Amino acid sequence: MNKHICYLFILLFTVISQPLSAADAEKPTEVIAPQNILVVDINKADVETLASLKGIGKKKAIAIVAYRELNGDFNTVDDLLNVKGIGEQTLHLNKEKIKL
């Protein structure tokens, strides 16, 4: 008799839990992408930090540091366009990640 009661409870809990799991399945899952927003000070950043920006590899990062050393600090973010190899697209990709 005790076996039958145990089986009955297992069956009961299984039946009751089915609608709950189905209700959870209908909810849309929210995917939150990790945001690795690194703000880079172009007047102080080293080559490695500058190279972490989109479209700026080590070669362009070296050019940015060289330009900064020859001409002084950047006055605006748009001054990066004066660096050889930095174009509008690269600037657009990184504008929110750059500060002075």
Query: What pLDDT is recorded for position 50?
Result: 95
Q: What's the rounded Cα separation, in Å, for the pair 90 and 34?
A: 22
Contacts of 57-66 with CB under 8 Å at 24 or more apart are 59/85, 60/85, 60/86, 60/90
Residue 10's pLDDT band (cuts 50, 70, 90): confident
CATH class of the region 40-99: mainly alpha
What is the tens place of the pLDDT at every residue in 55-88? 999 999 999 999 999 999 999 999 999 999 999 9
* Domain boundaries along the sequence of the chain: 40-99
Query: What pLDDT is recorded for position 38?
Result: 78
Q: What's the rounded Cα separation, in Å, for the pair 60 and 87?
A: 11
